[in-house]
Amino acid sequence: MTIERFRQLWTHRYFKYSHILKAHFLAYQAWIYFKTKKAKFAKGQKLIAIVRTEHFGDIVAAEPIGRYVRSLHPNAHIVWFVKPSYHELIDFNPSVDETFGEFCVTQRRVLFEKNVFDKIYPLQFSNNNHCTKCQVSIGNPIADRKGINVHTYFNFGNLLEVFAQTADLINSKISFPADDQPRLYLQDQHRQKADSLHLPERFVVIHCQSNYVPKDWPAERWDQLVKWLSENYSYKIVEIGLKSNLTTKEMNYRNLCGQLSILETAEVIKRADFFIGLDSGPSHLANAVGTAGVILMGSLGAFPSYNPYSGSYGRQENAFFVRQEGKMCSELSFEFVKEKVVSVLDKAILKRE
Protein backbone atom coordinates (compact mmCIF):
# COMPACT_ATOMS: atom_id res chain seq x y z
CA MET A 1 0.00 0.00 0.00
CA THR A 2 1.37 3.39 -0.99
CA ILE A 3 1.62 6.28 1.46
CA GLU A 4 -1.01 8.20 -0.51
CA ARG A 5 -3.43 5.26 -0.45
CA PHE A 6 -2.78 4.78 3.28
CA ARG A 7 -3.55 8.45 3.90
CA GLN A 8 -6.78 8.28 1.88
CA LEU A 9 -7.91 5.15 3.72
CA TRP A 10 -7.43 6.61 7.18
CA THR A 11 -8.88 9.98 6.18
CA HIS A 12 -12.00 8.14 5.02
CA ARG A 13 -12.15 6.13 8.23
CA TYR A 14 -11.68 9.21 10.36
CA PHE A 15 -14.59 11.05 8.75
CA LYS A 16 -16.79 7.95 8.72
CA TYR A 17 -16.32 7.08 12.38
CA SER A 18 -16.45 10.71 13.48
CA HIS A 19 -19.78 10.95 11.70
CA ILE A 20 -21.08 7.76 13.34
CA LEU A 21 -19.94 8.95 16.78
CA LYS A 22 -21.73 12.27 16.27
CA ALA A 23 -24.87 10.43 15.14
CA HIS A 24 -24.88 8.37 18.35
CA PHE A 25 -24.27 11.44 20.49
CA LEU A 26 -27.11 13.35 18.82
CA ALA A 27 -29.40 10.34 19.19
CA TYR A 28 -28.82 10.17 22.94
CA GLN A 29 -29.25 13.92 23.18
CA ALA A 30 -32.57 13.66 21.33
CA TRP A 31 -33.64 10.74 23.55
CA ILE A 32 -33.09 12.84 26.67
CA TYR A 33 -34.96 15.74 25.06
CA PHE A 34 -38.01 13.66 24.12
CA LYS A 35 -37.98 11.72 27.40
CA THR A 36 -38.01 15.00 29.33
CA LYS A 37 -40.77 16.41 27.12
CA LYS A 38 -42.84 13.24 27.47
CA ALA A 39 -42.58 13.39 31.26
CA LYS A 40 -44.57 16.64 31.12
CA PHE A 41 -47.38 15.23 28.97
CA ALA A 42 -50.92 14.93 30.23
CA LYS A 43 -51.94 11.44 31.29
CA GLY A 44 -52.48 9.24 28.24
CA GLN A 45 -50.93 11.69 25.78
CA LYS A 46 -48.81 9.93 23.15
CA LEU A 47 -45.56 10.83 21.44
CA ILE A 48 -45.81 9.99 17.73
CA ALA A 49 -43.23 10.12 14.95
CA ILE A 50 -43.84 10.52 11.22
CA VAL A 51 -40.78 9.77 9.09
CA ARG A 52 -40.47 11.19 5.59
CA THR A 53 -37.08 12.84 5.37
CA GLU A 54 -36.73 13.51 1.62
CA HIS A 55 -37.20 14.42 -1.26
CA PHE A 56 -39.17 17.63 -1.00
CA GLY A 57 -41.73 16.58 -3.61
CA ASP A 58 -42.30 13.37 -1.65
CA ILE A 59 -42.75 15.37 1.56
CA VAL A 60 -45.37 17.57 -0.12
CA ALA A 61 -47.09 14.49 -1.53
CA ALA A 62 -47.19 12.97 1.97
CA GLU A 63 -48.64 16.09 3.63
CA PRO A 64 -52.22 14.69 3.85
CA ILE A 65 -50.85 11.92 6.08
CA GLY A 66 -50.01 14.50 8.74
CA ARG A 67 -53.64 15.58 8.81
CA TYR A 68 -54.86 11.99 8.81
CA VAL A 69 -52.55 10.98 11.67
CA ARG A 70 -53.78 14.01 13.62
CA SER A 71 -57.37 12.81 13.12
CA LEU A 72 -56.37 9.40 14.51
CA HIS A 73 -54.48 10.89 17.47
CA PRO A 74 -56.06 14.29 18.21
CA ASN A 75 -54.28 14.77 21.54
CA ALA A 76 -50.87 13.36 20.62
CA HIS A 77 -47.61 15.27 20.27
CA ILE A 78 -46.68 14.61 16.63
CA VAL A 79 -43.07 14.95 15.47
CA TRP A 80 -42.13 14.83 11.77
CA PHE A 81 -38.60 13.62 10.98
CA VAL A 82 -37.11 15.40 7.97
CA LYS A 83 -33.73 16.39 6.60
CA PRO A 84 -32.85 19.90 7.82
CA SER A 85 -32.86 21.35 4.30
CA TYR A 86 -36.59 20.57 4.03
CA HIS A 87 -37.72 21.65 7.48
CA GLU A 88 -39.73 24.65 6.20
CA LEU A 89 -42.21 22.25 4.58
CA ILE A 90 -43.13 21.00 8.06
CA ASP A 91 -42.50 24.01 10.29
CA PHE A 92 -45.82 25.73 9.55
CA ASN A 93 -48.00 22.62 9.31
CA PRO A 94 -50.74 22.97 11.97
CA SER A 95 -51.21 19.19 12.16
CA VAL A 96 -47.62 18.67 13.29
CA ASP A 97 -46.36 19.82 16.68
CA GLU A 98 -42.65 19.62 16.01
CA THR A 99 -40.15 19.34 13.18
CA PHE A 100 -37.13 17.16 13.88
CA GLY A 101 -34.17 17.90 11.62
CA GLU A 102 -32.54 14.52 11.26
CA PHE A 103 -28.74 14.32 11.20
CA CYS A 104 -28.68 10.88 9.55
CA VAL A 105 -30.37 7.48 9.59
CA THR A 106 -28.02 6.18 12.30
CA GLN A 107 -29.21 8.90 14.66
CA ARG A 108 -32.82 7.92 13.96
CA ARG A 109 -32.14 4.20 14.38
CA VAL A 110 -30.44 4.66 17.75
CA LEU A 111 -33.15 7.06 18.95
CA PHE A 112 -36.02 4.77 17.94
CA GLU A 113 -34.33 1.80 19.63
CA LYS A 114 -34.80 3.67 22.92
CA ASN A 115 -38.59 3.23 22.53
CA VAL A 116 -39.41 6.77 23.63
CA PHE A 117 -41.99 7.10 20.84
CA ASP A 118 -45.35 5.43 21.36
CA LYS A 119 -46.04 5.09 17.64
CA ILE A 120 -43.90 5.50 14.53
CA TYR A 121 -45.30 5.97 11.02
CA PRO A 122 -42.47 5.24 8.53
CA LEU A 123 -43.34 6.80 5.17
CA GLN A 124 -40.25 5.30 3.55
CA PHE A 125 -39.30 1.90 2.24
CA SER A 126 -36.11 0.02 2.92
CA ASN A 127 -33.96 1.05 -0.01
CA ASN A 128 -34.50 4.78 0.33
CA ASN A 129 -33.29 4.96 3.94
CA HIS A 130 -29.54 5.19 3.46
CA CYS A 131 -26.66 7.29 4.82
CA THR A 132 -23.66 7.33 2.51
CA LYS A 133 -21.33 8.51 5.29
CA CYS A 134 -22.33 5.82 7.79
CA GLN A 135 -22.89 3.34 4.97
CA VAL A 136 -25.98 2.29 6.91
CA SER A 137 -29.51 1.58 5.72
CA ILE A 138 -32.70 1.31 7.74
CA GLY A 139 -35.28 -1.23 6.72
CA ASN A 140 -39.05 -0.97 6.93
CA PRO A 141 -40.57 -4.38 7.76
CA ILE A 142 -44.05 -3.14 6.83
CA ALA A 143 -42.94 -2.17 3.31
CA ASP A 144 -40.88 -5.35 2.99
CA ARG A 145 -43.87 -7.49 3.95
CA LYS A 146 -46.00 -5.77 1.34
CA GLY A 147 -43.30 -5.93 -1.35
CA ILE A 148 -42.93 -2.16 -1.64
CA ASN A 149 -39.46 -1.08 -2.74
CA VAL A 150 -37.74 1.22 -5.22
CA HIS A 151 -38.44 -1.23 -8.05
CA THR A 152 -42.15 -1.78 -7.31
CA TYR A 153 -43.59 1.22 -5.49
CA PHE A 154 -45.68 2.72 -8.30
CA ASN A 155 -47.47 -0.62 -8.62
CA PHE A 156 -49.13 0.32 -5.31
CA GLY A 157 -50.69 3.64 -6.31
CA ASN A 158 -49.67 7.28 -6.19
CA LEU A 159 -47.01 8.51 -3.76
CA LEU A 160 -49.52 9.35 -1.03
CA GLU A 161 -51.09 5.89 -1.22
CA VAL A 162 -47.67 4.21 -1.29
CA PHE A 163 -46.46 6.12 1.79
CA ALA A 164 -49.71 5.38 3.64
CA GLN A 165 -49.17 1.69 2.93
CA THR A 166 -45.55 1.73 4.14
CA ALA A 167 -46.86 3.13 7.44
CA ASP A 168 -49.63 0.50 7.61
CA LEU A 169 -52.27 3.23 7.51
CA ILE A 170 -54.07 1.59 4.59
CA ASN A 171 -54.03 -1.77 2.84
CA SER A 172 -52.93 -2.34 -0.74
CA LYS A 173 -55.22 -1.16 -3.54
CA ILE A 174 -57.27 1.00 -1.14
CA SER A 175 -57.62 4.71 -1.75
CA PHE A 176 -56.44 7.17 0.87
CA PRO A 177 -59.33 7.42 3.37
CA ALA A 178 -59.28 11.20 3.88
CA ASP A 179 -58.77 14.44 1.96
CA ASP A 180 -55.94 13.61 -0.45
CA GLN A 181 -55.20 17.14 -1.68
CA PRO A 182 -51.68 18.19 -0.58
CA ARG A 183 -51.46 21.59 1.09
CA LEU A 184 -48.75 24.10 1.80
CA TYR A 185 -48.81 26.62 4.62
CA LEU A 186 -47.37 29.77 3.11
CA GLN A 187 -46.53 32.67 5.43
CA ASP A 188 -46.25 36.45 5.11
CA GLN A 189 -42.48 36.12 4.68
CA HIS A 190 -43.00 34.04 1.53
CA ARG A 191 -45.57 36.44 0.15
CA GLN A 192 -43.29 39.40 0.87
CA LYS A 193 -40.43 37.75 -0.99
CA ALA A 194 -42.66 37.18 -4.02
CA ASP A 195 -43.84 40.81 -3.80
CA SER A 196 -40.22 41.99 -3.89
CA LEU A 197 -39.68 40.19 -7.22
CA HIS A 198 -42.19 42.45 -9.01
CA LEU A 199 -43.51 39.55 -11.03
CA PRO A 200 -45.46 40.26 -14.23
CA GLU A 201 -49.24 40.28 -14.15
CA ARG A 202 -49.54 37.19 -16.33
CA PHE A 203 -46.79 34.61 -16.50
CA VAL A 204 -45.99 30.93 -16.89
CA VAL A 205 -43.59 29.18 -14.53
CA ILE A 206 -41.32 26.53 -16.01
CA HIS A 207 -39.14 23.95 -14.28
CA CYS A 208 -36.64 22.21 -16.55
CA GLN A 209 -34.41 19.91 -14.45
CA SER A 210 -35.34 17.22 -11.95
CA ASN A 211 -33.01 15.47 -9.51
CA TYR A 212 -33.11 12.34 -11.69
CA VAL A 213 -31.88 12.55 -15.30
CA PRO A 214 -34.29 9.94 -16.75
CA LYS A 215 -37.18 12.29 -15.86
CA ASP A 216 -35.69 15.25 -17.77
CA TRP A 217 -36.45 16.81 -21.16
CA PRO A 218 -33.44 18.07 -23.16
CA ALA A 219 -32.41 21.69 -22.54
CA GLU A 220 -32.42 22.57 -26.24
CA ARG A 221 -36.10 21.64 -26.45
CA TRP A 222 -36.87 23.79 -23.43
CA ASP A 223 -35.09 26.64 -25.25
CA GLN A 224 -37.33 25.97 -28.25
CA LEU A 225 -40.40 25.98 -26.05
CA VAL A 226 -39.46 29.29 -24.40
CA LYS A 227 -38.86 30.88 -27.82
CA TRP A 228 -42.15 29.55 -29.18
CA LEU A 229 -44.11 30.70 -26.09
CA SER A 230 -42.54 34.17 -26.34
CA GLU A 231 -43.48 34.49 -30.01
CA ASN A 232 -47.04 33.18 -29.74
CA TYR A 233 -48.38 34.22 -26.32
CA SER A 234 -48.40 37.33 -24.19
CA TYR A 235 -47.27 35.44 -21.10
CA LYS A 236 -43.89 36.16 -19.54
CA ILE A 237 -41.88 33.03 -18.72
CA VAL A 238 -40.27 32.57 -15.30
CA GLU A 239 -37.91 29.66 -14.65
CA ILE A 240 -37.56 28.25 -11.13
CA GLY A 241 -35.39 25.51 -9.66
CA LEU A 242 -31.89 25.10 -8.30
CA LYS A 243 -30.07 26.07 -11.48
CA SER A 244 -30.82 26.66 -15.14
CA ASN A 245 -29.30 24.81 -18.07
CA LEU A 246 -31.04 26.96 -20.68
CA THR A 247 -29.30 29.30 -23.10
CA THR A 248 -32.32 31.35 -24.14
CA LYS A 249 -31.99 35.12 -24.48
CA GLU A 250 -35.68 35.83 -24.98
CA MET A 251 -36.82 39.16 -23.55
CA ASN A 252 -39.93 37.56 -22.02
CA TYR A 253 -37.84 35.03 -20.06
CA ARG A 254 -36.67 35.52 -16.48
CA ASN A 255 -34.39 33.18 -14.53
CA LEU A 256 -35.10 32.87 -10.77
CA CYS A 257 -33.17 29.62 -10.32
CA GLY A 258 -31.24 29.39 -7.07
CA GLN A 259 -32.77 32.58 -5.69
CA LEU A 260 -35.71 31.22 -3.69
CA SER A 261 -36.44 28.90 -0.81
CA ILE A 262 -38.88 26.03 -1.35
CA LEU A 263 -41.89 27.89 0.03
CA GLU A 264 -40.89 31.13 -1.72
CA THR A 265 -40.84 29.10 -4.92
CA ALA A 266 -44.31 27.80 -4.07
CA GLU A 267 -45.60 31.36 -3.68
CA VAL A 268 -44.21 32.29 -7.10
CA ILE A 269 -45.87 29.20 -8.63
CA LYS A 270 -49.13 30.10 -6.90
CA ARG A 271 -49.15 33.49 -8.66
CA ALA A 272 -48.53 31.99 -12.11
CA ASP A 273 -51.22 31.29 -14.70
CA PHE A 274 -49.65 27.93 -15.51
CA PHE A 275 -46.88 25.62 -14.38
CA ILE A 276 -45.05 23.75 -17.15
CA GLY A 277 -42.53 21.27 -15.83
CA LEU A 278 -41.41 17.76 -15.08
CA ASP A 279 -42.39 15.06 -12.62
CA SER A 280 -40.32 16.64 -9.86
CA GLY A 281 -40.56 18.54 -6.59
CA PRO A 282 -41.89 21.83 -8.03
CA SER A 283 -44.78 20.03 -9.76
CA HIS A 284 -45.89 18.82 -6.32
CA LEU A 285 -45.72 22.45 -5.13
CA ALA A 286 -47.93 23.44 -8.07
CA ASN A 287 -50.41 20.73 -7.15
CA ALA A 288 -50.47 21.94 -3.55
CA VAL A 289 -51.02 25.62 -4.39
CA GLY A 290 -53.63 24.95 -7.07
CA THR A 291 -51.84 26.24 -10.18
CA ALA A 292 -52.85 24.50 -13.40
CA GLY A 293 -50.06 22.23 -14.58
CA VAL A 294 -48.72 20.82 -17.81
CA ILE A 295 -46.46 17.95 -16.74
CA LEU A 296 -43.94 16.34 -19.08
CA MET A 297 -43.69 12.69 -18.12
CA GLY A 298 -42.20 9.53 -19.55
CA SER A 299 -41.68 5.93 -18.66
CA LEU A 300 -39.65 5.48 -15.48
CA GLY A 301 -37.69 2.28 -14.99
CA ALA A 302 -40.17 -0.56 -14.60
CA PHE A 303 -43.11 1.86 -14.85
CA PRO A 304 -44.14 2.58 -18.47
CA SER A 305 -47.02 4.75 -17.23
CA TYR A 306 -47.52 6.01 -13.71
CA ASN A 307 -49.19 8.80 -11.72
CA PRO A 308 -47.30 10.12 -8.67
CA TYR A 309 -49.92 12.70 -7.66
CA SER A 310 -52.95 12.71 -5.42
CA GLY A 311 -55.55 15.49 -5.24
CA SER A 312 -56.50 17.57 -8.26
CA TYR A 313 -53.33 16.70 -10.19
CA GLY A 314 -53.81 13.00 -9.52
CA ARG A 315 -57.33 13.15 -10.94
CA GLN A 316 -56.05 15.35 -13.79
CA GLU A 317 -58.66 17.96 -12.93
CA ASN A 318 -56.01 20.67 -12.78
CA ALA A 319 -53.16 19.04 -14.67
CA PHE A 320 -52.47 17.67 -18.13
CA PHE A 321 -49.89 14.89 -18.47
CA VAL A 322 -47.79 15.14 -21.63
CA ARG A 323 -46.57 11.63 -22.36
CA GLN A 324 -46.40 8.77 -24.80
CA GLU A 325 -46.63 5.42 -23.09
CA GLY A 326 -43.38 3.50 -23.21
CA LYS A 327 -41.28 6.56 -24.09
CA MET A 328 -38.93 8.33 -21.70
CA CYS A 329 -39.44 12.05 -21.18
CA SER A 330 -36.25 12.77 -23.13
CA GLU A 331 -37.79 11.06 -26.17
CA LEU A 332 -40.77 13.41 -26.39
CA SER A 333 -40.41 15.57 -29.48
CA PHE A 334 -40.73 19.32 -29.38
CA GLU A 335 -43.66 19.23 -31.78
CA PHE A 336 -45.53 16.71 -29.63
CA VAL A 337 -45.04 18.77 -26.46
CA LYS A 338 -45.90 22.03 -28.26
CA GLU A 339 -49.15 20.54 -29.54
CA LYS A 340 -50.21 19.55 -26.02
CA VAL A 341 -49.21 22.91 -24.52
CA VAL A 342 -51.23 24.70 -27.20
CA SER A 343 -54.33 22.69 -26.37
CA VAL A 344 -54.07 23.55 -22.67
CA LEU A 345 -53.19 27.25 -23.02
CA ASP A 346 -55.69 27.99 -25.78
CA LYS A 347 -58.50 26.27 -23.92
CA ALA A 348 -57.74 28.34 -20.81
CA ILE A 349 -57.59 31.58 -22.82
CA LEU A 350 -60.95 30.87 -24.45
CA LYS A 351 -62.47 30.09 -21.06
CA ARG A 352 -61.09 33.33 -19.61
CA GLU A 353 -62.45 35.41 -22.50
Contacts of 301 (CB under 8 A, 6+ apart): 151, 214
CATH code of the domain in which 145 resides: 3.40.50
pLDDT at 337: 98
Residues 50 and 101 in one domain: yes
Give domain status of residue 176, yes or no. no
pLDDT reported for residue 14: 57
161 with 268, same domain? no
> Helices (H) and strands (E) in the chain — how many of each?
13, 12
Buried b (16+ CB within 10 A) or exposed e, 101-129: ebbbbbbbbbbbeeebbeebbbbbbbebb
> How many degrees, rounded to 5, is the angle at CA 11 between CA 7 and CA 15?
175
Return the number of other C-beta atoms located less than 10 Å from residue 175's C-beta: 13
| E strand map for 10-46 | none
CATH code, domain carrying 269: 3.40.50.2000
pTM exceeding 0.85 = yes
- Please identify, among 133, 166, 199, the residue that sits at the C-terminal boundary of a domain: 166
pLDDT for 245:
96
The pLDDT of residue 6? 52
Strands (E), 175-256: 203-206, 236-239, 253-255
Q: Is 94 helix (H, G, I), strand (E, B) or coil?
A: coil
Are residues 227 and 311 both part of a single domain? yes
Tell whether 63 and 160 lie within a shared domain: yes
User: Is the domain of 161 the same as that of 239?
Assistant: no
CA–CA separation, 316 and 299 (whole Å): 18
- The residue type found at 117 is F
Q: Domain span at residue 123? A: 3-166
Q: Which DSSP helix (H) or strand (E) runs through 9?
A: helix 3-39
Looking at the structure of the chain, the number of domains it has is 2
Which amino acid appears at position 80 of this protein?
W
Give the span between the Cα atoms of 106 and 103, in whole angstroms.
Answer: 8
Q: Which residues of the chain have pLDDT under 50?
A: none
- Of 134, 166, 198, the last residue of a domain is 166
| Under 8 Å between Cβ of 279 and 295 | yes
